[in-house]
Chains A and B, each alone.
Chain A
């Protein structure tokens, strides 16, 4: 079974500051990991995914995440926050490469302060 823990249900950063959203996973098999973002009144949009290739994954909108097996982590970062980054972010894990279900974390609401 897989599980995901997102530390911090709410994170606030100033515009231009580093964004760091934390995700730790538990999986009995090599995981596939994802970050999704949900803007208000929209569906979830895939930011990036880790599928056992490079451990540093670059996504859209300047976000990236690093897979650290020893720490069972997949934290999401962005060097400089923009106001438009304000949204809810979800980390998710899948057990394998098959077309199977995702297990989501509880989400982190990111607020960007002017």
Chain B
């Protein structure tokens, strides 16, 4: 089966610009998660979708970040306007059910650099 696909793999944008990251989860996985790792720090939770609904968005840093999951399939994470501190690696993960049973399957991440 295809894994979790993220694109672009890298993005370099200027401060103030808009960037949209995309994640295609494994087909049939209702649970989709976004995480972020800022340089050298922990991987931090951003939000969790169950199908098209936001189950938990407590990790979203501010209202410059907007996540959507159209029809419960792929998801996008838009940063508008981007700031320098948004630089990092953004990971997407998906799971068919309980994390204790399935764990997550992660994508390779999008490395975002804001200059």
Q: Are A97 and B59 in contact (CB under 8 A)?
A: no
Query: A98–B99 contact, CB under 8 A?
Result: yes
Known: A101-B33, A102-B45, A104-B42. A46 touches B103 (CB 8 A): yes
Interface of A is mostly: loop
Closest-by-CB residue of A relative to B5 is A43
CB of B100 closer than 8 Å to a CB of A:
yes
Stretch in B14-22, B72-80, B90-98 with 4+ CB within 8 Å of A: B90-98
How many residues of B sit at the interface, in one of the four size bands? 20 to 34
Using A99-B97, A105-B42, A106-B41 as known contacts, say yes or no to A43 and B103 having CB atoms under 8 A apart.
Answer: no
B100 touches A41 (CB 8 A): no
Residue in chain B with minimal CB distance to A104: B43
Q: Is B109 an interface residue (CB 8 A)?
A: yes
| A77 on interface, CB distance cutoff 8 Å | no
- Indicate if A90 sits at the interface (CB-CB under 8 A): yes
A8, B112: Cα distance in complex, Å: 26
19 residue pairs of the A-B complex, CB under 8 angstroms, read A32-B99, A42-B108, A43-B106, A44-B93, A44-B104, A45-B106, A46-B104, A51-B100, A51-B101, A97-B99, A98-B98, A98-B99, A99-B50, A99-B99, A100-B48, A101-B33, A104-B43, A106-B41, A106-B42
